[in-house]
Each structure stands twice: as C-alpha cells, then as structure tokens.
C-alpha cells in the first residue's frame, strides 16, 4: 500500500475505474521514458487501485450469490 494513496473507498465505481486507467497510461509513459523511480511509485499506487477494484468485484459476486438461489446445489455429486 502506498503511503500517499488517497481513500479509494469514497470513489464511485466509474471514478475509480477512470482514475485507474489514467494512472495506468501515465505509468506506461513513465516506464517508456526511463523514469524508474517514478514508475516504481506509480506501480505501488496502481496496486492499491487494483486491490480496491478486486474488493468491489468480490463484494458484488458475494451479493449476487447470496441473493440468487439458482447457484445453490447446482452440482449434485452422487
């Protein structure tokens, strides 16, 4: 986790995804320009964004599986 990362939980899904894509483009530009130190810092920020996106996707999947009984007992092993 990057120590200067903003609180990502307050962002909407669209804002989070847009900021992640923007940061990823800047990261690639920094890597191409040879700015290793900057790219390293941006890599840590990108990891924070990835973790938040993953956490939100996991929560959505959990909500869907709790609310949808069609997935229960879908595999019947006898």
Q: And the tokens for 58? A: 């996991």
Q: Which residues constitute the domain of residue 46?
A: 34-63
Q: pTM score, two decimals?
A: 0.75
pLDDT value, residue 75: 67
Q: Is residue 5 part of a domain?
A: no
Kindly report the number of other CB atoms within 10 A of residue 49's CB atom.
Answer: 20
Per residue of the chain (78 residues), give pLDDT as tens.
777 788 888 999 999 999 999 999 999 999 999 888 999 999 999 999 999 999 999 998 888 777 776 656 666 666
Number of structural domains in the chain: 1
Q: Is residue 1 part of a domain?
A: no
Q: Is residue 22 part of a domain?
A: no
Q: Is residue 43 part of a domain?
A: yes
Find tokens 């949808």 and name the residue. Answer: 68
Q: Is residue 54 part of a domain?
A: yes
Q: Is residue 20 part of a domain?
A: no
Q: Is residue 8 part of a domain?
A: no
């Amino acid at each position: 986790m990057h120590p200067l990362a903003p609180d990502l939980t307050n962002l909407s899904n669209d804002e989070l995804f847009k900021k992640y894509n923007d940061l990823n483009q800047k990261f690639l530009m920094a890597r191409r320009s040879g700015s290793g130190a900057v790219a390293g810092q941006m890599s840590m920020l990108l990891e924070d964004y990835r973790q938040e996106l993953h956490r939100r996707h996991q929560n959505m999947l959990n909500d869907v599986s709790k609310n949808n009984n069609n997935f229960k007992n879908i595999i019947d092993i006898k």
